[in-house]
Structure 1
Amino acid sequence: EKAEEAEKAGISQGLLVKVEQGYTRKGLSGRVELHLAERGSLTVLPEEAAEASDIPPLDGFFTKVSQLGTGGEANVRGVVASVSQVRTFPRPEGEGKVLRVKILDDGNEATLVFWDEKVEEAASVKPGDLVEVVMGKVKEDSLGGREIHVRRSSHVKVKPSFAPPPAVKVVEAEPTPIGKLQPGVRGVTIEGTIVEAPNLKEVTLRDGSKAKVAELTVKDETGSVKVSAWREIGEILSKLPPGLKVKLKGVTVKEGFAGGVEIATTSSTTLEVKSAGEAAEG
């Protein structure tokens, strides 16, 4: 009965409501839940209601991307910068689905990872939309960035065409000498010669999907570095012979397993292949 009343009242995220004669108890997830029984009532209040002055603004319930930790839950919001294709993968109980949406919040980047039935809620999301996620699970990705996993218990709200699609400002950076690479830096440009034939393999990612990655070593006059080139760029590099000079723009530098540094391509990395003559001159 109370559920029908809430539905008729048009209850949705962001509305100001007044609850009378409710009671609290711990839910299955361990969170405190507010319940309405027969005597309880739920009223939608206008924004100008007197009670509204005591309610913190909705912005206060969201955590800035720059302040996200890892391992806990968080409410986040951001403008969509890019949307991946839906990926499917096998599960014992059937097919799983995952969708990744990159958002920007005051210039800081995070990735929303929608799982299974939540993928449908984000199916029409496009760059420029504002996405709000309540009760997302925060995790750290393999490059030290932040992912917010949108699960069955999460709540999603989309405000279409909230802002112009974020533009990526391209700055032509000079290549960083390989010997001066420092871990933890993103958006780096390197230029060097392929040392040996790249090794292309297929790996299974944390979300169950599969991706191809090429592993190779690139060197310049200051040193050499291991490169993990993902997906399309990896497939292109796997076909190039040793001795060819390449330029990679927008890579991420991280600590290597055996000390030193390694680099990895990202979705925004671009590849420029130099001619054999240029390689010989370098």
Structure 2
Amino acid sequence: LHDNTGDARIVLWDNQVKIFTESNFEKNELIKIINGSAKKGKYGGMEIHVGSYGKVILSPEDVDYKKYPKITYDSINISDISLNLNSVSIEGKIIQLFPKKEFTRKDGELGKVQSLTLLDSSGSIRITFWNEDTEKLNTLEINDVISVTNLNPRLSTLDSKTIELTTNRNTIIAKKTGDLNFEGEIIKNIKELQNRRGVVSFEGIITSVDNLKTISLKSGEEVSLLGFIASDNTDGIRVTLWRENAEEYSKLLNVGQGLSLKNVLVKYSSFSSRYEISLINDSTLELKDLEIKNLKSIELAGKERSTNFSGDYAKINTINTPGIIEIKGFIAKDLSNISVYEACQNCFKKIENCSCGKGENIELRMIISLIIDDGTGTIRTTFMGDKAEKIIGVKTASIAQIKETPEFEKFLEKKSSEFLGKDIIIKGRAKFSDYSNQYEISVYDFKDINIDDELERVMKKIEI
């Protein structure tokens, strides 16, 4: 409910829910509550509960209606959305429009789900539409500017750092005329970007440039990707370019060049546990002369550095015998699935394949396969058990809970966007697969590529 002082969440119990069937129970109708009980809500705000001793009066006659003007929806910045808000309205530009998915609901009926990502100057957020509400997206396209009213914030099922929005029957989408131009706040030092959200502008010097990569999307489309590190004397940050931008700037960017990046998007990556930079349509990247002393690379504060790697990396196209090896490459293909199975706690085999005699103790185990490319070839790598949980950042039990729900496809899309093109070092056992007729790697350990560590390794090799 809303009055001129704010909003309140109302919880009705038992027979009180009959009010929902009244013909005039609709938005902007007045309601009077008697003997409600105020309680602290799930997300910290106050709720009013109405039970058997309470009373809900729809369209009361003893109220001055002039004191309660019609509800209007004021848009807020995406960065201001919190779980304490029961309902929000926002405006922004569509930067992602995901395909419509169909699924079978618990009652056996067919359900539909579709999502989009909306951007304003303060940040971006995912909005999910269910069932008949998905029809509201039929006329929308990427780069459309829209307003969306009456959305409900909720915590992402599998990411405690992320808030998403869901629609309801009162949600209204309106397409706005004209474009939405972003003017990102100018950030003076790169370290501050780890505390920022949304669209920003900053300058830095290139301290590392990846080779141009080609990655495969789930749709079968192959696209170009280019990553580089921009640094100043406070920190470094990873910047990712896609498609035509990647191809164009792969010919222009070199270590030591100065850059001005305007109206770029700060996004969190669970793969690196850091905020990174992506370009949007309003972004510009300009080469310029800069002089910055004491350049810093990326600070991996709090992250463990594995010491179990020799640095003797095998070329993928030379792997033709079984054994323990290390490879260095990038994730080249979308995450298409995550397998979860019941396993013996002793031998880790599937229950139906257990032969150790201790199969009565069962646990859920997860398997993730990633395709790695090192420039000489590609190879399938398999992460199992705790290694799978580590790279995906989610416990097996949580994955098992959403496997048969629409949330699973959303999760795969999100993780794929974080994983694609990321550099990684892997240690594991190479073995020939009769199924794929190729060598594959069962992963024992892995880590992100750290430029300073790799330079130190190369220098030591040269000295030897």
User: TM-score, structure 1 length as denominator?
Assistant: 0.53
Task: State the Cα distance separating 1:194 from its structure 2 match.
Answer: 5.5
Q: Which has the larger radius of gyration?
A: 2
Q: One-letter code of the match for 2:87? A: N
* AA in 2 matched with 1:225: G
* Aligned residue in 2 for 1:185: 196
Q: Which has the higher contact order (CA 8 A, sep 6+)?
A: 1
Which residue number in structure 1 is paired with residue 230 of structure 2?
A: 218
Equivalent position amino acid for 1:15 in 2: N
- Residues 1:119 and 2:134 are matched in the alignment: yes
More strand per residue: 1
CA contact (8 A) 1:196 1:241 kept: no
Match of 1:120, SS state, is helix
Query: What's 2:114 paired with?
Result: 97
Contact 1:183–1:254, Cα closer than 8 Å, also in 2: no
1:131 alignment counterpart:
148
CA apart distance, 1:270: 1.9
Q: Report the CA distance between 1:190 and its aligned residue.
A: 1.9
Conserved? CA contact 2:78–2:125, under 8 Å: no
Match of 1:155 in 2: 169
Structure 1's 231 and 61: CA in aligned 2 closer, same or farther, altered over 3 A?
same
Q: Structure 1 residue 87 and structure 2 residue 102: aligned? A: no
1:272 maps to 285
Size of the alignment, in residue pairs? 239
Structure 2: tracts of 5 or more residues without a match? 1-17, 34-46, 51-56, 105-110, 293-464
Partner of 2:254: 243
> Structure 1: how far apart are the matches of 2:284 and 2:171?
37
Rate the CA distance shift 1:141–1:76 in 2: closer, same or farther, 3 A: farther
Deviation at 1:158, TM superposition (A): 2.1
* 1:26 paired residue number: none
CA contact (8 A) 1:131 1:156 kept: no
* CA distance, structure 1, for counterparts of residue 118 and residue 285 of structure 2: 27
- Provide the rounded CA distance (Å) in 2 between the counterparts of 1:125 and 1:89: 13
Equivalent position SS for 2:128: strand
CA contact (8 A) 2:184 2:263 kept: no
Deviation at 1:75, TM superposition (A): 0.8
1: CA distance, partners of 2:158 / 2:248: 24
d(CA) in 1 for partners of 2:289, 2:155: 44
Change (3 A) 1:241 1:197: farther
Question: How far did 1:265 drift?
Answer: 1.9
How much is the aligned-residue C-alpha RMSD, in angstroms?
5.8
Shift of 1:235: 2.9
Q: Is the 8 A contact 2:212 2:224 kept in 1?
A: no
Matches within 5 A, 1:1-282: 11=24, 13-16=26-29, 50=63, 52=65, 58=71, 68-70=81-83, 74-78=86-90, 80-88=91-99, 97-102=114-119, 111-117=125-131, 118-124=133-139, 130-139=147-156, 147-150=163-166, 154-158=168-172, 160=174, 167-168=180-181, 170=183, 173=186, 176=188, 178=190, 181-186=192-197, 187-193=200-206, 195-198=208-211, 200=213, 214-219=226-231, 222=233, 225-229=236-240, 231-232=242-243, 235-236=246-247, 239-240=250-251, 243=254, 245=257, 246-251=259-264, 263-267=276-280, 270-274=283-287
Shift in alpha-carbon separation, 1:261–1:115, aligned structure 2, 3 A: closer
Asked whether the 8 Å contact 1:89–1:97 carries over to 2, the reply is yes
TM-aligned CA distance change 1:17 to 1:185, over 3 Å? closer
- Following the alignment from structure 1 to structure 2, what is the Cα–Cα distance between the partners of residues 254 and 85? 14
- Structure 1 residues 251 and 160: alpha-carbon distance in aligned structure 2, compared to 1, 3 A threshold: closer
Maintained 8 Å contact 2:102/2:113: yes
SS in 2 for 1:74: coil
Cα pair 2:212 2:247 within 8 Å, conserved? no
Q: Secondary structure of 1:15's match? A: coil
Q: Separation in 2 of the partners of 1:191 and 1:155?
A: 47
Q: Give how far 1:58 is off.
A: 3.8
* CA deviations over 1:16-72 (Å, ceiling 9, x no partner): 15699xxxxxxxxxx9999xxxxxxx9768xx98353676874699998665434x7
Which runs of 5 or more residues in structure 1 are unaligned? 21-30, 35-41, 205-209
CA-CA distance at 1:99 after TM superposition: 1.7
Paired letter, 2:164: I
Residues 63-84 of structure 1 show CA distances to partners (whole Å, capped at 9, x for unaligned) of 98665434x7721123x22124
Cα distance change, pair 138–12 in 1 and its aligned pair in 2 (3 A): farther
The change in CA–CA distance for 1:19 and 1:184 in structure 2 (over 3 A counts) is closer
Contact map agreement 2:215 2:223 (CA 8 A) in 1: yes
User: Matches of 1:184 and 1:249 in 2, distance apart?
Assistant: 18
Contact 1:228–1:264, Cα closer than 8 Å, also in 2: yes
